[in-house]
């Protein structure tokens, strides 16, 4: 860990803390971090709060630079950082506000199986999933696209997978942006990015990406749970992956573009990693076109992963996935910049909302929420670590008014990967997980150790903050029983 951050944090209430814009000359707005006293101690242990202050320098930023309770150090923006800029008043877009794994995100699928149905088959099921789903650094998938189809994926996203038999239309209805954000331009994606992505559709990747078989062990909101088709003891599947090498390359390419054009637009920021350009500039428009293409690649990737997961369940239980009730609840993006209309001081404004390690959490009645969920609000998926819990929540009106309809995206890293490798014993960790009834398979020891529960904040604490602060509402808690990792 780096040294403790000593900057000012003024208490607003039990769950919000302010970094006043007087902290650094050049801050255009205050920073606000969502946390309680316990999490604040962890947040002070790296420089993520400094990054919240630095983001407040961005031209066109409005209201606040935000940090979610899972906040930790990232590239430019903190992971768990949120910022909105006013498009029509020179607001900028910054690749550092999206991150390298563009549209890294999570989808949650329910089943009609109960834990008692799965327990006798669990080891075989996890082995089947691991053998069916390519995972690990540089993993390549069996679902391939060639030539024009590669560009079609970048425009149609998850729709390409459904068209090719890897899912159904209802999957698209249950995905943010229906699985394809408009405005993607595959011509802006470099040949290097295409080369890195062409064999990675339907691959899990490495790092914190995972597929988990989970069991609902607590329900908090019966009405919302009924609307989502949930009950205690029910088996769920959570998939966490992104745009793989293609998205990484798009980010890398455009950081270089942004660094070159900052002088032209008179953009002054305290950290070169906040390189940016006005949304309406040629460079801003080009980045957004390429970023959307990478986001669509990621939605297609998770759709293909879900298809492979359904095949593994079919093989294990000798029934069709439809009979097993394996239907998608929702898919949300974690790393993305989106052009959205929000009401600010009573007036509707067109904003570029950066969500980096943060989840959209639109409230009830919002037309962007699928009709089947419009009464309860958008489903929000917050995964924890492989030894504790994950959560399903719904968005709120308070999130719309306070955080541009946004909440946190996970537990948040506590230890660096290097520190986790140094302090965690692989065999002891597997024993501890096995004692909890959790079966783990991974392509290498390193990934498991890096993702040990001790490397993360407790997701239960993180979710308590967003629930009590009112920017997402708890519906269900899940615990893992089977995990595959890269």
Residue bearing the bigger pLDDT, 198 or 483: 483
In this model, does residue 1 exceed pLDDT 50? no
- The closest alpha carbon to 331, from 170, 134, 152, 94, belongs to 170
In this model, does residue 205 exceed pLDDT 80? no
Domain topology for 10-485: tRNA-splicing ligase RtcB (3.90.1860)
Tell me, yes or no, if 467 is annotated catalytic: no
Give the model's pLDDT for residue 141.
61
Residue bearing the bigger pLDDT, 199 or 176: 176
In this model, does residue 438 exceed pLDDT 90? yes
List the single range of 234-238, 246-250, 416-420, 459-463 with lowest mean pLDDT.
416-420
Give the model's pLDDT for residue 140.
59
- The closest alpha carbon to 269, from 51, 19, 484, 11, belongs to 51
Give the model's pLDDT for residue 199.
64
Summarize pLDDT for 33-69 with one digit per residue, the tens. 999 999 998 888 889 999 999 999 999 999 999 999 9
Give the model's pLDDT for residue 147.
67
Domain coordinates in residue numbering, the chain: 10-485
In this model, does residue 31 exceed pLDDT 50? yes
How many Cβ atoms sit within 10 Å of the Cβ of residue 163?
Answer: 12
What average pLDDT does this structure show over 335-359? Answer: 97
8 Å CB contact between 345 and 323: no
In this model, does residue 181 exceed pLDDT 70? yes
pLDDT band at 2 (very low <50, low <70, confident <90, very high): very low
- Sign for the CA dihedral angle at 392, 117, 211, 333 comes to negative
The pLDDT > 90 percentage for the chain reads: 80
Map tokens 């339907």 to a residue.
202
List the single range of 114-118, 310-314, 347-351, 407-411 with lowest mean pLDDT.
407-411
pLDDT band at 206 (very low <50, low <70, confident <90, very high): low
SS3 258: helix
What average pLDDT does this structure show over 108-124? Answer: 97
Give the model's pLDDT for residue 445.
79
Summarize pLDDT for 312-345 with one digit per residue, the tens. 999 999 999 999 999 999 999 999 999 999 999 9
Among 334, 354, 409, 467, the one annotated catalytic? 409
Give the model's pLDDT for residue 251.
96
Give the model's pLDDT for residue 130.
92
Give the model's pLDDT for residue 139.
54
Rounded alpha-carbon distances, angstroms, from residue 367 to 111, 337, 375: 27, 19, 11
List the single range of 182-186, 341-345, 423-427 with lowest mean pLDDT.
423-427
In this model, does residue 142 exceed pLDDT 80? no
Rounded alpha-carbon distances, angstroms, from residue 226 to 18, 128, 220: 38, 31, 11
Whole-prediction pTM value? 0.94
Query: Across all residues in the chain, what is the average pLDDT?
Result: 93
DSSP 1-63: --PPP-S--EEEETTEEEE-GGGSTT--SEEEEE--HHHHHHHTTSSHHHHHHHHTTSTTB-S
In this model, does residue 280 exceed pLDDT 80? yes
């Amino acid at each position: 860990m780096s040294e403790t951050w000593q900057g000012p944090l003024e208490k607003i209430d039990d769950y919000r803390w302010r970094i006043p814009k007087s902290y650094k000359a050049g801050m255009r707005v205050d920073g606000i971090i969502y946390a309680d006293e316990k999490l604040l101690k962890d947040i002070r242990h790296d420089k993520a709060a400094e990054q919240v202050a630095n983001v407040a320098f961005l031209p066109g930023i409005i209201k606040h630079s935000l940090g979610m309770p899972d906040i930790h150090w990232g590239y430019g923006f903190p992971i768990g950082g949120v910022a909105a800029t006013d498009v029509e008043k020179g607001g900028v877009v910054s690749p550092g506000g999206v991150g390298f794994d563009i549209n890294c995100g999570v989808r949650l699928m329910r089943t009609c199986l109960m834990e008692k149905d799965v327990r006798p088959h669990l080891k075989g099921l996890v082995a089947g999933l691991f053998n069916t789903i390519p995972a690990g650094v540089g993993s390549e998938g069996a679902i391939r696209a060639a030539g024009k189809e590669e560009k079609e994926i970048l425009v149609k996203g998850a729709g390409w997978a459904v068209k090719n038999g890897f899912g159904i239309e209802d999957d698209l209805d249950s995905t943010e942006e229906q699985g394809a954000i408009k405005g993607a331009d595959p011509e802006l994606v470099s040949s290097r990015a295409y080369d890195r992505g062409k064999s990675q559709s339907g691959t899990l990747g490495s790092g914190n990406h995972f597929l988990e078989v989970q069991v609902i062990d607590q329900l908090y909101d019966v009405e919302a749970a009924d609307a989502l088709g949930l009950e205690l003891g029910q088996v769920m599947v959570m998939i966490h992956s992104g745009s793989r090498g293609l998205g990484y390359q798009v980010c890398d390419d455009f950081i270089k573009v942004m660094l070159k054009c900052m002088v032209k637009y008179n953009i002054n920021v305290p950290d070169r990693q906040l390189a940016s350009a006005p949304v309406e500039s040629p460079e801003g428009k080009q980045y957004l076109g390429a970023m959307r293409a990478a986001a669509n690649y990621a939605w297609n990737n998770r759709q293909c992963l879900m298809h492979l997961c359904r095949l593994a369940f079919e093989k294990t239980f000798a029934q069709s996935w439809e009979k097993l009730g394996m239907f998608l609840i929702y898919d949300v993006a974690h790393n993305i910049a989106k052009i959205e209309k929000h009401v600010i001081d009573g007036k509707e404004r067109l904003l570029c909302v950066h969500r980096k390690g943060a989840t959209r959490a639109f409230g009830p009645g919002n037309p962007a929420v699928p009709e089947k969920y419009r009464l309860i609000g958008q489903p929000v998926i917050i995964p924890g670590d492989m030894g504790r819990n994950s959560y399903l929540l719904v968005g709120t009106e308070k999130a719309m008014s306070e955080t541009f309809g946004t909440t946190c995206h996970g537990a948040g890293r506590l230890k660096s990967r290097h520190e986790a490798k140094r302090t965690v014993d692989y065999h002891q960790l597997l024993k501890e997980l096995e004692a909890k009834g959790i079966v783990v398979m991974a392509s290498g020891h390193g990934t498991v150790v890096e993702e040990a529960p001790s490397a993360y904040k407790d997701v239960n604490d993180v979710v308590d903050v967003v629930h009590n602060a009112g920017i997402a509402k708890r519906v269900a808690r899940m615990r893992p029983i089977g995990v595959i990792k890269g």
